[in-house]
Amino acid sequence: MIELKDIVVKFGDFEALHNINVNVKEGEFFTFLGPSGCGKTTTLRTITGFIEPVSGTVSVNEQDITHVPIEKRNIGIVFQSYALFPHLSVWDNIAFGLKIQKLGEDEIKRRTTEALKILNLQGYENRKPKDLSGGQKQRVALCRALVKQSPYFLLDEPLSNLDAQLRQQARTELVRIHEIYKPTMIYVTHDQIEAMTVANRIVVMRDGVLQQAGTPDVIYHHPANTFVAGFIGSPAMNIVSGYYSSGKLKIGDVVSDVPELWQKILAGHTNVLVGIRPEHLKPAADGKIKGCVSYQENTGNQRTVTVNVNGETVFVTLPGVGAEISGNIGLDFNWDEVSLFNAETKENIGYVQKGEIVR
Ligand code: ADP
Ligand code: MG
């Protein structure tokens, strides 16, 4: 288990991490997700010991390692730039770290052979990095971390240099490695699809501040604030302004009844932001939202319809084939699939799960 407690990191006067609290469980595939510059790499470097926090503690298995030097931490890391040694062969690049650790010849051979097999690099042992494709280089870098067989495996945007197809392949490989060795994996990415597909749990960060920690499911369906709502999903969650008063919600000119449970959530609020995923909006003449279609895009399996709702842009995704829609339309949503945010703080004000209100 890796625990970050009230971690603050500063570079001069600039505070890069503000009070980060995270608990990574043993054997978990954990991801840090957020836009470039939000502090993901800084967080990883704090765990590995490259950066010392100005306050807070880093613990591994309940032992405070905040001031333990890097080389004593036994944490494998794969960096964003994979920096292979250009003059060494694939085999020597992978075995290098094990030689430094002074492992026996046989053990080095056994581990290197096994890692090459797992990442489908057999036959490439004698090649130099310059004679490999980007994807192969990235896999060599993964092997290099893998052979250390440390119980913790940290990856900093390890797939960022791959094209879309190879990325998907490499993702599958990572999930497989995780299933075989069950290391505690901390994976950093700015790519929400990557985070959603590999992780058991995701932490979303913004400007050095933790926004939300949860399973991919919770992060997707119940974002903690409008930033998380807008960062996850493509197109992202729609956010429209609403006005709540005595059991009724008004979006634009349309007033609709609010079911009892949601009335409880909305009690005390007037101006709210209503968040609805594009796939949860359905054309319906008597819908709770009215707007005008401004654009349509068909990608074969899916249509994305852009609708102007009182000056706010709303995306609706529909099956690729279906009735033509255009002009003024009504859109409906199901209350179970809605996120509600405070219009000022942008924080989620509560949702219903299994008939109970969660705040
Ligand atoms: P991410 O990995 O999420 O893209 P980083 O952790 O690399 O972001 O950086 C977080 C913030 O800290 C950025 O604003 C970055 O410019 C700043 N930063 C990172 N490293 C240093 C450093 N060594 N000195 C000064 N500022 C830094
Ligand atoms: Mg980074």
> CA 166, CA 146: separation in Å to the nearest integer?
19
DSSP letter for each residue of 230-248: HHSTTTT-EEEEEEEETTE
Residues 6+ apart with CB under 8 A from 154: 44, 47, 48, 75, 76, 77, 78, 185, 186, 187, 188
> CA 341, CA 266: separation in Å to the nearest integer?
10
Which of 282, 287, 296, 288 lies closest to 327, judged by CA?
A: 296
Ligand 2 centroid to 192 CA: how many Å?
15
Cα 337 to the chain's mean position, in Å? 21
With 0-12 CB in 10 A as exposed, 13-18 as middle and 19+ as buried, what is 321?
A: exposed
Nearest CA to ligand 1 atom 13: 37
Ligand 2 centroid to 186 CA: how many Å?
13
Q: 173 φ, ψ to 5°?
A: -60, -40
Nearest CA to ligand 1 atom 26: 11
Ligand nearest to the CA of 158: 2
pLDDT values of the chain reduced to their tens digit, one per residue, 359 residues:
899 999 999 999 999 999 999 999 999 999 999 999 999 999 999 998 999 999 999 999 999 999 998 888 877 676 666 689 999 999 999 999 899 889 999 999 999 998 898 888 999 999 999 999 888 888 898 888 888 878 888 899 888 777 787 788 888 888 988 898 888 999 999 999 999 999 999 999 999 999 999 999 999 999 999 999 999 999 999 999 999 999 999 999 999 999 999 999 999 999 999 999 999 999 999 999 999 999 999 999 999 999 999 999 999 999 998 888 899 999 999 999 999 999 999 999 999 988 899 98
How many other β-carbons are positioned within 10 Å of the β-carbon of residue 32? 28
Residues 6+ apart with CB under 8 A from 113: none
Ligand 2 centroid to 203 CA: how many Å?
15
Ligand 2 centroid to 338 CA: how many Å?
33
Closest ligand 1 atom, residue 188 Cα: 2
Which residue from 42, 187, 191 has its CB within 8 A of the most atoms of ligand 1, so it is best to mutate?
Answer: 42
Which residue from 38, 48, 77, 204 has its CB within 8 A of the most atoms of ligand 1, so it is best to mutate?
Answer: 38
> CA 192, CA 212: separation in Å to the nearest integer?
14
Question: Contact 331/291 with Cβ under 8 angstroms?
Answer: yes
Residues lining ligand 1, judged by CB closer than 6 Å?
A: 11, 14, 16, 34, 36-42
